[in-house]
């Protein structure tokens, strides 16, 4: 891509310190038919050009942070769209039709002297981007769309989608109808809208700073009402099959109140080469998560520009082979029972699995078995109860494989016997493995997920014992009740970051846990017999786990006793307490061997 050869108009306060990296910002006005547009460039014009187009009611300054982060590697171009910031604002509504906006975009491309650029649009910047990639073939090497589908694709969704999905999107777009009322939106902009908007931004975590919201906000807001009037319900040229030919990265902000996930998911139908990524943010993700947005743009542009191998996240975003395709899943206690079955199930659905266990050979056996079935798995030894080992483990996972998408904190042990028979060491070991193991797993991996900013899921394995008191499992039940509560607390905390938390509570499952347990009072034979006779395979628990992650379920009681116990704990906890008293702590005690 060529240099523009323009005469830069330097603003002293916009001069970057690092002149060697060509970070000088250049600003000038260009003519685009009936308007004059304020055009801003920064970075080395010899590098690939990224054109950032802002939405409503913003100006080019909404991209400040992202532009700064992209500048070392790219030639970054922004402009104030017609009606916003320092660009001129035509009075008549028709001047805001999409064809005029696309005309402005073409004028910008001509002014910077670039044949093709990588387009990034947010909100109305994205809406006009969808139109531009259709109307200006050959001018865009790629398109990154944030928070705004194309109007043709939107119209097709509203026509073809299920009534519930249409109603969901219509509710999110209520303001579009309000903007059609003559005079009312203009009045509202001068009265309450700036305050309401400010509050909405603060709720999302957008801190006002110089340049955003712009000092021209009220003027931009009232001018921009014409975007809705000229385009939303006006007649458009018929485009029966609105396919998009350009490689498209769709960044879905998980908490965007204006665009429904269903609408965004429907876009894949029109885009043969689409990478669909999620960011745990609200509508103004470029303000709250500029590093994540800049990383996503940079990765995508480099991949398209020169074939730079995609990150795991980008590769996955381009895949269509199912929900767990190329996900990175960490499972603790994967050497046996529920952990092994869960690792195998995720791998069978295309995930790459890190199988961790206290027993490295057992973890290796699980990983090798997955490998024999054409899956991808790695084995690691870790004692989940040790903070130092878990720190190293989490670090190694990130360094060698990346941030996990799903973590299953499954490793656990059992001690059976009455409270008075339990030794202090039994309590320590049970709490260390069953509770601290989960705390370490959540703490370390949740932090990684938050830093990455693309969401994730944590599954903690508790038990029926979490809500069903028993005279035989006091330490175990206490640890599992704590895991359940921890999971509920964490779910509330991480929801806003796009990270789901599920707690799984199985009843009796036929695994080796009874053989591995410590017995204070000699119930081994009975416990092993009960679990074996129950005949509930760990593979069925694994199937519940995969479903729960997909649907982001909060609590998953598994099998008949798990479900009945969970229901009774909510309906009649007293009944469960009475039942616990009936169980005999000496039950199953075997006669002492002679």
Asked if 457 and 501 count as a contact pair (C-beta separation under 8 A), the reply is yes
CB nearer to ligand NAP: give 384 or 446. 384
State in angstroms the smallest separation of the CB of 349 from ligand NAP: 20
CB nearer to ligand NAP: give 284 or 519. 519
CB nearer to ligand NAP: give 139 or 480. 480
State in angstroms the smallest separation of the CB of 569 from ligand NAP: 15
By C-alpha distance, which of 17, 55, 50 is closest to 214?
55
Asked if 146 and 121 count as a contact pair (C-beta separation under 8 A), the reply is yes
Asked if 353 and 331 count as a contact pair (C-beta separation under 8 A), the reply is yes
Please list, in sequence order, all residues whose beta carbon lies within 8 angstroms of the beta carbon of residue 507, skipping any fewer than 6 positions away.
Answer: 464, 534, 536, 557, 558, 559, 560, 561, 562, 563, 565
**Whole-number Å distance between alpha carbons of 303 and 282:** 26
The conformational region for residue 147 under phi > 0 = left, psi -120 to 50 = alpha, else beta, is: left
By C-alpha distance, which of 252, 307, 241, 306 is closest to 274?
252
State in angstroms the smallest separation of the CB of 451 from ligand NAP: 25
State in angstroms the smallest separation of the CB of 142 from ligand NAP: 44
State in angstroms the smallest separation of the CB of 412 from ligand NAP: 2
**3-state secondary structure labels for all residues of 90-116:** CCCHHHHCHHHHHHHHHHHHHHHCCCC
Binding site for ligand NAP (CB under 6 A): 332-333, 335-339, 357-359, 362, 382-385, 410-413, 433, 437, 461, 463, 506, 508-509, 511-513, 516, 531, 538
Burial 126-149 (b: 16+ CB within 10 A, else e): bbbbbbbbbbbeebbbbbbbbbbb
Residue with tokens 């801190």: 207
State in angstroms the smallest separation of the CB of 150 from ligand NAP: 47
Q: Which two tokens stand for residue 356?
A: 């961790």
CB nearer to ligand NAP: give 126 or 410. 410
CB nearer to ligand NAP: give 335 or 521. 335
Residue with tokens 């921890």: 486
**Whole-number Å distance between alpha carbons of 53 and 235:** 24
State in angstroms the smallest separation of the CB of 389 from ligand NAP: 8
State in angstroms the smallest separation of the CB of 371 from ligand NAP: 19
State in angstroms the smallest separation of the CB of 456 from ligand NAP: 20
CB nearer to ligand NAP: give 266 or 410. 410
Pick the catalytic residue from 476, 519, 536, 566. 476
CB nearer to ligand NAP: give 237 or 388. 388
The conformational region for residue 322 under phi > 0 = left, psi -120 to 50 = alpha, else beta, is: left
Q: How many CA atoms does the CB half-sphere of 583 hold within 13 Å?
A: 18
CB nearer to ligand NAP: give 153 or 479. 479
State in angstroms the smallest separation of the CB of 385 from ligand NAP: 5
CB nearer to ligand NAP: give 213 or 337. 337
**Whole-number Å distance between alpha carbons of 37 and 81:** 7
Give first-to-last CA distance, the chain, whole Å.
89
Catalytic residue flag (residue 11):
no
**3-state secondary structure labels for all residues of 349-393:** CCCEEEEEECCHHHHHHHHHHHHHCCCEEEEEECCCCCHHHHHHH
CB nearer to ligand NAP: give 145 or 342. 342
Rounded to the nearest 5°, which phi and psi values hold at 170?
-60, -40
For residue 39, say if its preceding peptide bond is cis, omega within 30 degrees of 0.
no
What distance lies between CA 223 and its chain's CA centroid? Answer: 34
**3-state secondary structure labels for all residues of 491-518:** HHHHHHHCEEEEEEEECCCCCCHHHHCE
Question: Which residues does the annotation mark as catalytic?
Answer: 476
């Amino acid at each position: 891509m060529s240099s523009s050869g323009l005469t830069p108009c330097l603003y002293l306060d916009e001069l970057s310190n690092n002149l060697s990296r060509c970070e000088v910002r250049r600003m000038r006005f260009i003519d685009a038919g009936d308007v004059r547009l304020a055009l801003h460039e920064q970075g080395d014009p010899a590098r690939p050009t990224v054109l950032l187009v802002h939405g409503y009611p913003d100006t080019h300054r909404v991209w400040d942070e992202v532009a700064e982060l992209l500048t070392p590697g790219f030639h970054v171009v922004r402009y104030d769209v017609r009606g916003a910031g320092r660009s001129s604002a035509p009075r008549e509504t028709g001047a805001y039709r999409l064809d005029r906006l696309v005309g402005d975009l073409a004028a910008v491309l001509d002014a910077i002297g670039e044949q093709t650029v990588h387009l990034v649009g947010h909100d109305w910047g994205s809406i006009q981007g969808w139109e531009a990639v259709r109307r200006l073939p050959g001018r865009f090497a790629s398109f990154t769309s944030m928070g705004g589908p194309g109007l043709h694709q939107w119209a097709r969704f509203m026509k073809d989608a299920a009534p519930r999905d249409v109603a969901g999107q219509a509710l999110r777009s209520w303001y579009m109808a309000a903007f059609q009322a003559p005079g009312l939106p203009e009045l509202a902009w001068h009265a309450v809208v700036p305050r309401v908007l400010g509050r909405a931004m603060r709720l999302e975590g957008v801190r006002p700073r110089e340049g955003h919201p712009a000092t021209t906000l009220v003027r931009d807001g009232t001018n921009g009402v014409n975007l809705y009037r000229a385009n939303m319900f006006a007649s458009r040229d018929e485009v029966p099959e609105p396919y998009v030919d350009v490689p498209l990265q769709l960044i879905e902000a998980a908490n965007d109140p204006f665009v429904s996930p269903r609408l965004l998911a429907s876009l894949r139908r029109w885009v043969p080469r689409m990478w669909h990524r999620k960011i745990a943010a609200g509508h103004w993700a470029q303000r709250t998560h500029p590093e994540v947005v800049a990383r996503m743009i940079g990765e995508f542009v480099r991949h398209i520009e020169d074939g730079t191998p995609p990150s795991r996240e980008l590769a996955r975003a381009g895949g269509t082979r199912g929900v767990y395709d190329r996900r990175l899943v960490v499972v603790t206690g994967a050497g046996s029972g529920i952990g092994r079955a869960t690792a195998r199930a995720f791998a069978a659905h295309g995930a790459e699995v890190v199988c961790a266990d206290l027993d490295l050979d057992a973890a290796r056996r699980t990983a090798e078995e997955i490998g024999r079935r054409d899956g991808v798995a790695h084995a690691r030894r870790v004692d989940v109860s040790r903070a130092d080992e878990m720190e190293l483990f989490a670090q190694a996972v990130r360094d060698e494989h990346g941030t996990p998408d799903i973590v299953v904190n499954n490793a656990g042990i059992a001690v059976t016997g009455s409270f008075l028979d339990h030794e202090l060491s039994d309590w320590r070991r049970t709490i260390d493995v069953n509770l601290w193991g989960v705390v370490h797993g959540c703490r370390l991996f949740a932090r990684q997920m938050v830093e990455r900013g693309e969401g994730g899921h944590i599954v903690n394995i508790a038990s029926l014992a979490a809500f069903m008191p028993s005279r035989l499992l006091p330490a175990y039940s206490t640890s599992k009740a704590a895991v359940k509560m921890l999971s509920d607390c964490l779910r509330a905390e991480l929801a806003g970051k796009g990270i789901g938390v599920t707690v799984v509570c199985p009843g009796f499952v036929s695994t080796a846990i009874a053989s591995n347990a410590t017995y204070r009072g000699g119930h081994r034979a009975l416990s092993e017999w009960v679990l074996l006779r129950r005949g509930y395979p760990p593979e069925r628990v694994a199937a519940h786990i995969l479903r729960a992650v997909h649907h982001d379920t909060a609590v998953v009681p598994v099998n008949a006793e798990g479900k009945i116990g969970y229901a009774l704990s909510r309906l009649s906890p007293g009944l469960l307490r009475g039942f616990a008293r009936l169980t005999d702590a000496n039950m199953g005690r075997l006669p002492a061997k002679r």
